[in-house]
């Protein structure tokens, strides 16, 4: 729920990565994204140790869509982890951070011809194919270059995970992947197997994000295995990799109980061993967690700009950020926990407040009806678990520059992404001679 290194001192001042939050806010300004290196390191290392204890080959691909910048790609290189990218821009960022293309897998339900060419030229490990149209492009690019392109097919196993409808992906009516119910996936497999320029390395399926139950992950892996067996019976083909995607939920609040990953992965590994046909190698189990690596590492710092009571007694606290740096409350009704630096919840002035953002939109509410030690103008408000899908989904709505991203660790801080300036906002704008 909070970064591993976070604590409050006796005066209720918050510290993260050995740095005072108040000092970070003064040095770098607000709003500010702060990432705690210790938390990210702990999450990656616990995934790696969990995977290394399984009796099957494994590979961790961090899902860059949760949070990616060149420094993140560079930072990840110290571990034997791969990267899942979902656009030419993410691939470019990863390569600019020196990430090994051989450890990158390229996703996306629509990839342009230009992106596919870029991924093949860069030498990514797998392209995860999402449609017959994409298969045809890869086939013709492979023929043009006289290359065999390694692919996975993204399947839609028909699993309805209990998460917000906007972040569910495994159900049959999903926009993602080849449906397994309507024969499209069969067509894709036959086409891939008969192609001279494509090598089908295996299957991928991702059931959704922020999933707190175990069953969808088990059902997902089981359906990939069943389908692989079907194709083994039909053609003798057997996958070298089964990629079950990401989606492992985290604790945004006390009600969230993350799934027991050790149990899930052991069950899946057992099924993989049991279902591998005689004479075939057990496939590699690939996973693509994003949120569960960076989510809890991140906090956002805001400065309170105004407070007011409205008729009916509701109290608003307005801060200098909002939906431009965290769209999740407005988009998914996501709720966050917060604290006020230097103030304790036991404070007699604690009250129910609504924290509003600065954007010209009534729906720009960061936290609705939360109990906080009543923040005053200039106080620093901290929101937790903002490391995933905050910076990566940020916008310039209202022409507000996006915040900086700062990494903190053992008493030091390092800028990973500079704060945008007003000049950055007009950099791509073009002025034209007036017609009047």
Tokens of 376: 């005053």
Picking from 154, 96, 152, 143, the residue whose alpha carbon sits closest to that of residue 122 is 96
Task: Establish if 94 lies at the interface with ligand LLP (CB under 6 A).
Answer: no
CA neighbours closer than 13 Å in the CB half-sphere of residue 315 = 14
**Residue numbers 145-204 binding ligand LLP by CB under 6 A:** 167, 169
Binding flag, residue 206, ligand LLP (CB under 6 A): yes
**DSSP code, position 163:** S
Among 56, 63, 91, 105, contact with ligand LLP (rule: CB under 6 A): 63
The minimum distance between CB 245 and ligand LLP, in angstroms, equals: 4
Query: Is 360 among the catalytic positions?
Result: yes
- Residue from 216, 245, 321, 329 touching ligand LLP (CB under 6 A): that is 245
What distance in Å separates the CA atoms of residue 142 and residue 397, rounded to the nearest whole number?
41
Contact between 210 and ligand LLP per CB under 6 A: yes
Cα distances (Å, whole numbers) of residue 358 to 15, 324, 384, 404, 434: 26, 9, 19, 17, 33
Q: Give the range of 239-247, 264-272, 345-353, 426-434 binding ligand LLP by CB under 6 A.
A: 239-247
Considering only 21-29, 116-124, 192-200, 289-297, which stretch makes contact with ligand LLP by CB under 6 A?
Answer: 289-297
Min CB(174)–ligand LLP separation in Å: 10
**Radius of gyration of the chain from Cα atoms?**
23
Enclosing H/E stretch for 366:
strand 365-373
Distance of CA 365 to the CA centre of its chain: 22
Of 19 and 129, the one with the shorter C-beta distance to ligand LLP is 129
Q: How many CB atoms lie within 10 A of CB 418?
A: 14
Does the protein bind ligand LLP through residue 66 (CB under 6 A)?
yes
Please state at what angle helix 132-145 crosses helix 113-122, rounded to 10 degrees: 50
Residue 374 phi, psi (nearest 5):
-35, 110
Smallest distance from the beta carbon of 332 to ligand LLP, in angstroms? 6
Q: How many residues bind ligand LLP (CB under 6 A)?
A: 24
Beta carbon of residue 260, minimum distance to ligand LLP (angstroms, whole number): 16
Closest CA to 293 of 93, 104, 46: 46
Catalytic residues: 360
* Binding residues for ligand LLP (CB under 6 A): 63, 65-66, 84, 107, 167, 169, 206, 209-210, 245-248, 288-292, 328, 332, 388-389, 393
């Amino acid at each position: 729920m909070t970064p591993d290194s976070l604590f409050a001192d006796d005066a209720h001042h918050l510290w993260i990565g050995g740095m005072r939050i108040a000092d970070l806010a003064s040095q770098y300004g607000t709003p500010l994204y702060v990432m705690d290196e210790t938390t990210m390191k702990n999450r990656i290392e616990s995934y790696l140790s969990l995977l290394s204890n399984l009796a099957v080959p494994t590979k961790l691909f961090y899902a860059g869509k949760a949070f990616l910048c060149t420094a993140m790609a560079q930072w990840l290189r110290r571990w034997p982890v791969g990267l899942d990218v979902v656009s030419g821009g993410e691939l470019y960022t990863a390569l600019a951070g020196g990430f090994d293309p051989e450890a990158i897998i390229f996703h996306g339900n629509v990839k342009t011809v230009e992106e596919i060419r870029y991924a093949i030229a860069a030498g990514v490990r797998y392209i995860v194919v999402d449609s017959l149209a994409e298969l045809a492009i890869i086939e013709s690019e492979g023929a043009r270059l006289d290359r065999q392109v390694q692919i996975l097919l993204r399947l839609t196993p028909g699993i309805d995970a209990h998460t917000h409808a906007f972040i569910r992906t495994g159900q049959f009516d999903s926009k993602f992947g080849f449906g397994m119910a309507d024969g499209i996936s069969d067509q894709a497999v036959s086409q891939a197997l008969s192609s001279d320029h494509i090598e089908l390395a295996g299957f991928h399926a991702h059931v959704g994000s922020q999933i707190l139950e175990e069953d969808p992950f088990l059902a997902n892996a089981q359906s990939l295995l069943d389908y692989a067996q079907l194709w083994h019976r039909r053609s003798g083909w057997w996958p070298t990799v089964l990629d079950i995607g990401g989606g492992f939920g985290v604790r945004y609040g006390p009600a969230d109980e993350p799934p027991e990953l050790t149990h899930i992965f052991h069950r899946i590994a057992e099924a993989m061993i049991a279902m591998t046909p005689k004479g075939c190698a057990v496939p590699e189990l690939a996973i693509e967690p994003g949120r569960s690596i960076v989510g809890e590492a991140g906090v956002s710092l805001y400065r309170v700009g105004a407070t007011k009571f409205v008729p009916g007694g509701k109290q608003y606290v307005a801060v200098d950020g909002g939906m431009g740096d965290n769209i999740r409350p407005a988009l998914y009704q996501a709720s966050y926990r917060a604290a006020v630096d230097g103030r304790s919840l036991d404070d007699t002035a604690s009250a129910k407040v609504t924290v509003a953002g600065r954007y010209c939109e009534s729906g720009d509410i960061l936290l609705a009806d939360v109990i906080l030690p009543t923040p005053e103008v200039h106080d620093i408000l901290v929101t937790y678990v903002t490391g995933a899908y905050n910076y990566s989904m940020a916008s310039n709505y209202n022409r507000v520059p996006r915040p900086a991203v700062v990494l903190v660790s053992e008493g030091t801080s390092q800028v990973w992404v500079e704060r945008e300036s007003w000049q950055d906002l007009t950099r791509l704008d073009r002025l034209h001679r007036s017609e009047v």
